[in-house]
Structure 1
Amino acid sequence: MTDLIRKGALFLMSQKCYDNYFLEHDFLDIPCFKALLSKGLGLAIIAGSVLVKVPQVLKILNNKSGEGINILGVMLDLLAITFHMSYSFMNGYPFSAWGDSTFLAFQTVAIAVLVLYFSGRKVQSVIFLLAYAVFLYVLNSGLTPMKALITIQSCNIPILLVGKLSQAFTNYKAGSTGQLSAATCFMMFAGSVARIFTSIQETGDQMMIITFCFSTFANGVIVAQLLYYWNKPSGAQDAKAKAKKPKSKKVD
């Protein structure tokens, strides 16, 4: 049992920190506390990422509509997530520092496929799914040089900003957030904030840290719009309400 606890503890901390906590009982070691907090946050983000976009997927399925969801924004978001995942994986960074990207990528693919499918582009949705699988293989199989991965990772900031802000512009034009899931947007914002800290602690990669700062800003804009348009109906809901409203009879 003791050996099992030790193995579990060493999964979360270094041997030095294990000795400090369990042998020397030094619980005020700040570097070890920050490292442990970062590892715990990283694993919590990964656990949360398993379901973070599921509310969005379910909302699209239940309404059989991707109304208000900017497909360009979804594609660019997927591109940024995939670039970050491949760059981190090929660099050999700890899974706790980027593992959430794996689950976010698959869920974002599902959103893109559903938006295409329910907009009447069924063939395109299948082609997109196959194309993404090939693209993922090329990035993560060693076929793509590391220099190329560094270059595409540096493109993540403009990709993120264009993707998120195009969604924000769509919300602004519609005067509502359509089928956007509040739960998904709030969790994405919280995750990007936490990732700034974990990236500093676990990778020290300046490019990743700056990228998450911009990601936090972009996600914050979407969250602010959700709060602003909270009680305003979407276009589809507004149309239904008008259809149900009885027409006034003409008085001769």
Structure 2
Amino acid sequence: MTSITRNLPWFIKDLGVSIVGDKCYVSLVENLNIEDVECLKYSLSKGLGLGIVVGGAVMKVPQLLLILNAKSARGLSLPAYVLETLSYAITLAYSARNHFPFSTYGENLFLTIQNVLITLLIVYYAPPTQQQHRGLTTPTPRPTGLLVAMVAIVLVNAFALSVVPASVLALLQLSTVPMSLFSKVPQIAQNHRARSTGQLSAVAVLAQIGGCAARLFTTAQEVGDPVVSAGFALALLLNVVLGVQMWVYWGTDSAVPSARDLVQDKVYEKDLGRGEKVDIVVPPQSPAATQTAHQVQPASYGRKWARKVD
């Protein structure tokens, strides 16, 4: 068997060496030494790391599609996504500038891009605060100015992280631990208040749980940075809480009030505050009740009235 593994095509050998290194490739592939525990752990870490990078490229795509299809970001916390995006960006810059293997942080590149898009969609689909002062048929204006400001902030932060001194970047990386905490707490609190997860994607939450668990292993094997490991451990814990909320609130969705209901509620609250009398009109309960009311009147009323006018 070793005569075959030692004579594999050059492109297979080069690929294997680029992933696990020359030493582990010779030990595991060419010599079939499955008792080399260190190389087995290192190869497993590399495989998981590459899988996480590939998964990270599409991890938030279900969340993006969910928002676009529903044309709503209801249930998603803007502060949570802003902090999470900043945490991803800092970890990406810290790992790249410390020349860590790309397989240990590559997903942060894709997650940062996807989170920026989700954050902009949350701003775009945010409900207007002055809806009660417009007509019910007036189209809702989109916050174009705020979107432009958000894009400018993203570009400025990206430039700052690329030029900030290494010592400052290390402190920023340390701040990602509490940042991860505060990025998940608003979303967890919002889910708890609404007793619903809104447009939060179950696929994205489960993928984050699996990714954080795998990252703990790969970071310990290839990087050994306790700050990075602590960040992934805390993120895993909070993502598990989100996963539990998805399971508890599954199938329960709070009703979304219409624009007309919001206007009527505001007028009602305003009149009550002034102590004015509010007339409540109860509409017919069903079409059948309306039809019965018409049937009570004689059909000849219309004709008698016509003769009377003549």
Q: Normalising by the residue count of structure 2, what TM-score does the alignment of the two structures yield?
A: 0.75
Q: Could you tell me which of 94, 106, 110 is aligned with 1:99?
A: 106
Aligned match of 1:149: 169
Aligned match of 2:34: 27
Q: Is 2:285 aligned against 1:248?
A: yes
Q: Is 2:53 aligned against 1:46?
A: yes
Over the matched positions of the two proteins, sequence identity in percent amounts to 33
Q: Which runs of 4+ in 1 moved over 4 A?
A: none
Aligned match of 2:92: 85
Aligned match of 2:207: 187
Q: Please give the alpha-carbon distance, in whole angstroms, between the structure 1 residues aligned to 2:31 and 2:16.
A: 15
Q: Please give the alpha-carbon distance, in whole angstroms, between the structure 1 residues aligned to 2:113 and 2:172.
A: 20
Which segment drifts farther, 124-133 or 37-46? 124-133
- The verdict on how the C-alpha distance between 1:26 and 1:64 changes in structure 2, with shifts beyond 3 A counting, is same
TM superposition shift of 1:235: 3.4
RMSD: 1.9
Q: Could you tell me which of 232, 254, 266 is aligned with 1:234?
A: 254
Deviations 1:77-115 (A, max 9, x none): 001111111110110000000000000000000000001
TM superposition shift of 1:123: 1.6
Which residues in structure 2 correspond to 1:149-188 (within 5 Å)?
149-188=169-208
Q: Which amino acid aligns with 1:146?
A: A
Deviations 1:142-196 (A, max 9, x none): x210001100110111111111011000000111001101111110111011100
Aligned match of 2:155: 133
Aligned match of 1:196: 216
Which residues in structure 2 correspond to 1:58-69 (within 5 Å)?
58-69=65-76
**Structure with higher helix content:** 1
Deviations 1:200-242 (A, max 9, x none): 0110111111110001001111111000000101332xx58xx
Q: Please give the alpha-carbon distance, in whole angstroms, between the structure 1 residues aligned to 2:246 and 2:30.
A: 49
Q: Please give the alpha-carbon distance, in whole angstroms, between the structure 2 residues aligned to 1:93 and 1:234.
A: 45
Q: Please give the alpha-carbon distance, in whole angstroms, between the structure 2 residues aligned to 1:130 and 1:170.
A: 28
Q: Please give the alpha-carbon distance, in whole angstroms, between the structure 1 residues aligned to 2:94 and 2:108.
A: 11
Q: Please give the alpha-carbon distance, in whole angstroms, between the structure 2 residues aligned to 1:100 and 1:110.
A: 16
Say if 1:113 and 1:126, in contact at 8 Å, map to a contact too: no
Secondary structure at 2:169's aligned position in 1? helix
Q: Please give the alpha-carbon distance, in whole angstroms, between the structure 1 residues aligned to 2:157 and 2:227.
A: 23
Q: Normalising by the residue count of structure 1, what TM-score does the alignment of the two structures yield?
A: 0.92
Secondary structure at 1:85's aligned position in 2? helix
Say if 1:186 and 1:223, in contact at 8 Å, map to a contact too: yes
Secondary structure at 1:213's aligned position in 2? helix
Say if 1:178 and 1:235, in contact at 8 Å, map to a contact too: no
Secondary structure at 2:152's aligned position in 1? helix
- The verdict on how the C-alpha distance between 1:234 and 1:58 changes in structure 2, with shifts beyond 3 A counting, is farther
Q: Which runs of 5+ in 2 are unaligned?
A: 1-7, 127-141, 262-282, 294-310
Q: Please give the alpha-carbon distance, in whole angstroms, between the structure 2 residues aligned to 1:178 and 1:26.
A: 51
Q: Please give the alpha-carbon distance, in whole angstroms, between the structure 2 residues aligned to 1:179 and 1:121.
A: 20
Q: Please give the alpha-carbon distance, in whole angstroms, between the structure 2 residues aligned to 1:122 and 1:222.
A: 31
TM superposition shift of 1:15: 1.3
TM superposition shift of 1:247: 6.4
TM superposition shift of 1:135: 1.2
Q: Which runs of 5+ in 1 are unaligned?
A: none
Say if 1:116 and 1:122, in contact at 8 Å, map to a contact too: no
Q: Please give the alpha-carbon distance, in whole angstroms, between the structure 2 residues aligned to 1:67 and 1:94.
A: 38
